Amino acid sequence: MAAKKKHVYHRTEIEHHADKSHTVRHIHKEPAKSKSYAAADLDAVHDGMQDHLNPAEPMPGSPAAMPAPAGAGPAAGAAGAVPPGMTPGMGA
């Protein structure tokens, strides 16, 4: 059995908003490496956490698990990619 790759974040914070959206912050021990993004709903929170915390093992049906159409931008989970239902956050 292969060893599971450990994620690089110290902790994750999820801020819940009245409109059912969320702000997700993955806090790294080095603040410049922290990430944050907005998630439109709980499904987007789950997909984003799976994509950021277990990038080698995307959830079935998540954007990172689906092949990109020809001519598409960066693959979900790749540097610079933003999963559907999410927008880039204020974090680095």
Per-residue pLDDT, 54: 74
Q: Is residue 71 part of a domain?
A: no
Helix (H, G, I), strand (E, B) or coil at 71: coil
Per-residue pLDDT, 9: 82
pTM, 2 dp: 0.54
Burial tier of 7 (Cβ tally within 10 Å: 0-12, 13-18, 19+):
middle
With beta carbons less than 8 A apart as the criterion, state whether 7 and 33 touch.
no
Q: Is residue 30 part of a domain?
A: yes
Q: Is the pLDDT of residue 90 over 50?
A: no
Per-residue pLDDT, 51: 84
CA–CA dist 39, 15 (Å, integer): 10
Q: Is residue 42 part of a domain?
A: yes
Q: Is residue 57 part of a domain?
A: yes
Helix (H, G, I), strand (E, B) or coil at 11: strand
Domain that holds residue 34: 9-63+82-88
Q: Is residue 2 part of a domain?
A: no
Q: In total, how many domains does the chain have?
A: 1
pLDDT digits (tens, 9 = 90+) for 5-64: 666 788 999 999 999 999 999 998 888 989 999 999 999 999 988 888 876 655 555 555
